[in-house]
Amino acid sequence: MPFLFDAYLKAIQKNLQQGSERSHYPALKDLLDNPADGVDAVIEEKGNKAGIPDFTVKRRDLLVGYVEAKDIGLDLDQIEKTEQLQRYLEAFPNLVLTNYLEFRWYVDGKRRQKEVLGDRTDNKLQARATDKITALLDQFLNYTGEIISSPEDLARQMARLTKAIRLATVTALGLEGMTGELHQLKQGFSEVLLPDLNDADFADMYAQTISYGLFAARVGHAQNPGGETFTRRTAGTYIPATNPFLKRLFNTIVETDAISQIDWAIEDLVQLLSQVEMGSILENFGQRTRQSDPVVHFYETFLAAYNATLRKSRGVYYTPEPVVSFMVRSVDAILKDRFDLPLGLADNAKDPVTQKPRVQILDPATGTGTFLYEVVKQIYRNLEEIGMANQWDSYVKDNLLNRLFGFELLMAPYAIAHLKLGLQLQELGYQFQGKQRLGIYLTNTLDEAMKKSEILFGQFVAQEANEASEIKRDAPVMVVLGNPPYSGHSANKSKWIGDLLRDYYQVDGMPLGERNSKWLQDDYVKFIRFGQWRIDRTGSGILAFITNHGYLDNPTFRGMRQSLEKTFDEIYLMDLHGNSRKKEVAPDGSPDKNVFDIQQGVAVAIMVKYPKPIS
């Protein structure tokens, strides 16, 4: 498009006596605007929007890119090194940086081109040849972004826009007072789930929540053709009733202007999702081969692009499918062979006294739902074997949703688990009706206390956590399984789990006497203690975990080993080794590789407690 460089430079020169960079904004806007082509460069008022560059450039209301303008004379080499610009390059895929005379164009964080429009002598400006600067601006204005043709492409683009939401959230937190909407949201999370939550961690949690909430809503929208246009304000309509907490969050926060300072970043993600052909993206999401789980692969692609260190810092690792399958099939076989439950995990027999289902299943650190997904697969196989697969719809409604539970502390995996299991149940033939919810709850498994909050959003979190608390306390869970997090520096310091752990600090009623017993505070140890407590409270059942293998032989854990021996009648341990710190080797002398991408060796434990005979 033709750019009016002479008029632009004259306007800049006229304003040179007036001071700051903002006095040149109208001139830059006039240069970029092209009403005939629908191009509009919007000057952003920083007080109204947080974490956004100076200009948002749109074509016919669709986002093109962003422009960050610095004052004339500033060295853009130095500006490139600033934290602000590094954050912008990370978050915005199409960005121009300018000091009004030099223009630099960046795509996906990398500089594509830089050109100088003119030179300044005192307050006089002299244009250079303009063909190259015209080409730069044309490419910037005509940039259409990466063509999204696969789930991996979408995951990477979502990750970039989620960074923009995170950046906007951090900035808005710094601008608003303690009574602002974002601080209220943060306080709600802190009161109920994560007491030590800081601004950066909250912004990260909030950004991922919005991102995966919108993704879940877009999936729902794709499954309801002919409905309303997918927008920020209609998104909550398409979040399935199976996830009431996320639906309440969107109805309260996202669809309104409650947090208007960051709405711009959310709108960018909405635009991306609305333009994606979700049919092709979702083609394989309801299926899983022996090689990969498409939904988890999507999430891991997202995490790698969003924050590669995030997973490692939280001790969260995806369990390989063969390990999950082995553990689930083992639990199923034990239920059939040792507990007189012919349908194993699919058995819907009720306790003769309580009239509650005997086989209630819980993954207390469900993550993205890998174990529960495999449980559902095994249940379906068991029904197929007896010719009942055609009754799947009624079976799920009456005999599955009321006994399948998962607890998760982190928002993004929680949203993914809901999405994955919902798609799986539908793929197998179940039709959700009314307000049926999946039994996956946002909660801290290791904190038993009932929660309350005076803050509206905190009340949503508290309601979710308290429903989970009732299951922890009252549901006679018979199977506890999964892959709890490994974290030597546990953030889970509730009094409730601390009191339960006291059993592990003694042997034969006497104190351990260890000078350093800190490893008993590892998260995986606390989750084993929780599972042990839950099975003991039920009276019988199976605890099946894959965890750090340190507790098998370390002297610090001898109280833990004795406690487990007292609770369970049979304990099956499979040490998978793979401890690179110990330089463990296979029988042939080759390195003993871990089933996870970690240094710490792991082990599978299946512990069985049988019902006491009725005397």
Confidence of residue 288 (pLDDT cuts 50, 70, 90): very low
Check whether 190 has a pLDDT greater than 60: yes
Residues 146-168 have pLDDT tens digits of 778 788 888 888 988 899 899 88
* 74: amino acid identity, one letter: L
Q: Measured between alpha carbons, how far is 471 from 441 in angstroms, rounded to an integer?
A: 10
Residues 198-247 have pLDDT tens digits of 898 889 888 988 898 898 889 888 887 777 888 888 888 888 888 888 88
Question: What are the φ and ψ backbone dihedral angles of 107, each rounded to 5 degrees?
Answer: -125, 125
Check whether 289 has a pLDDT greater than 50: no
Write b or e for each residue in 390-401: b if 16 or more Cβ atoms lie within 10 A of its Cβ, otherwise e. eebeebbeebbb
441, 464 Cβ separation under 8 angstroms: yes
> pLDDT value at position 377?
94
30, 8 Cβ separation under 8 angstroms: yes
Q: Measured between alpha carbons, how far is 531 from 500 in angstroms, rounded to an integer?
A: 11
Check whether 574 has a pLDDT greater than 60: yes
> pLDDT value at position 149?
78
Query: CB within 8 A of 489, min separation 6: which ones?
Result: none
Confidence of residue 372 (pLDDT cuts 50, 70, 90): very high
Confidence of residue 592 (pLDDT cuts 50, 70, 90): low
504, 559 Cβ separation under 8 angstroms: yes
608, 338 Cβ separation under 8 angstroms: yes
> pLDDT value at position 71?
87
Question: What are the φ and ψ backbone dihedral angles of 325, each rounded to 5 degrees?
Answer: -60, -45
Confidence of residue 137 (pLDDT cuts 50, 70, 90): very high
> pLDDT value at position 506?
92
Q: Measured between alpha carbons, how far is 71 from 22 in angstroms, rounded to an integer?
A: 8
Check whether 315 has a pLDDT greater than 50: no
> pLDDT value at position 594?
64
200, 234 Cβ separation under 8 angstroms: no
Instruction: Say which residue the tokens 């460089």 belong to.
Output: 5
HEC letters along 328-372? HHHHHHHHHHHCCCCCHHHCCCECCCCCCECCCEEECCCCCCHHH
> pLDDT value at position 480?
98
Which of 457, 441, 385 has the alpha carbon at shortest distance from 187?
457
Query: CB within 8 A of 86, min separation 6: which ones?
Result: none
In this structure, of 3-17, 53-67, 83-97, the range with the lowest mean pLDDT score is 3-17
Which of 196, 192, 169, 191 has the alpha carbon at shortest distance from 180?
169
What is the domain partition of the chain in residue ranges? 5-141, 318-609
* Averaged pLDDT of the chain: 85
If you average pLDDT over residues 4-17, what whole number do you get? 85
189, 286 Cβ separation under 8 angstroms: no
On the CB side of 494, how many CA atoms lie within 13 Å of its CA? Answer: 22
Q: 281 exposed, middle or buried (CB, 10 Å; 0-12, 13-18, 19+)? A: buried
> pLDDT value at position 197?
85
Question: What are the φ and ψ backbone dihedral angles of 507, each rounded to 5 degrees?
Answer: -130, 125
Output the pTM of the full model: 0.83
Confidence of residue 262 (pLDDT cuts 50, 70, 90): confident
Instruction: List Cα–Cα distances, 267 to 44, 149, 159, 254, 255, in angstroms.
Output: 15, 21, 15, 10, 11
Check whether 403 has a pLDDT greater than 60: yes
Please tell me the CATH code under which domain 318-609 is placed. 3.40.50.150
Please tell me the CATH code under which domain 5-141 is placed. 3.90.1570
Task: Select the more confidently predicted residue: 489 or 430.
Answer: 430
601, 548 Cβ separation under 8 angstroms: yes
Confidence of residue 124 (pLDDT cuts 50, 70, 90): confident
275, 451 Cβ separation under 8 angstroms: no
Q: Measured between alpha carbons, how far is 106 from 224 in angstroms, rounded to an integer?
A: 38
Task: Select the more confidently predicted residue: 88 or 455.
Answer: 88
Confidence of residue 378 (pLDDT cuts 50, 70, 90): very high
Check whether 185 has a pLDDT greater than 80: yes
Residue 555: helix, strand or coil by DSSP? helix
> pLDDT value at position 597?
61
Which of 158, 156, 216 has the alpha carbon at shortest distance from 368?
216
In this structure, of 92-106, 139-153, 574-588, the range with the lowest mean pLDDT score is 574-588
Confidence of residue 324 (pLDDT cuts 50, 70, 90): very high
Confidence of residue 518 (pLDDT cuts 50, 70, 90): confident
Residue 139: helix, strand or coil by DSSP? helix
Sequence-distant contacts of 392-399: CB under 8 A, at least 24 apart: 392/428, 392/429, 392/430, 393/429, 393/430, 393/431, 395/348, 396/425, 396/430, 397/430, 397/433, 397/436, 398/348, 399/348, 399/357
Instruction: Say which residue the tokens 């002598």 belong to.
Output: 121
In this structure, of 225-229, 280-284, 313-317, 565-569, the range with the lowest mean pLDDT score is 313-317
Alpha helices, DSSP H only, in 223-260? 244-249
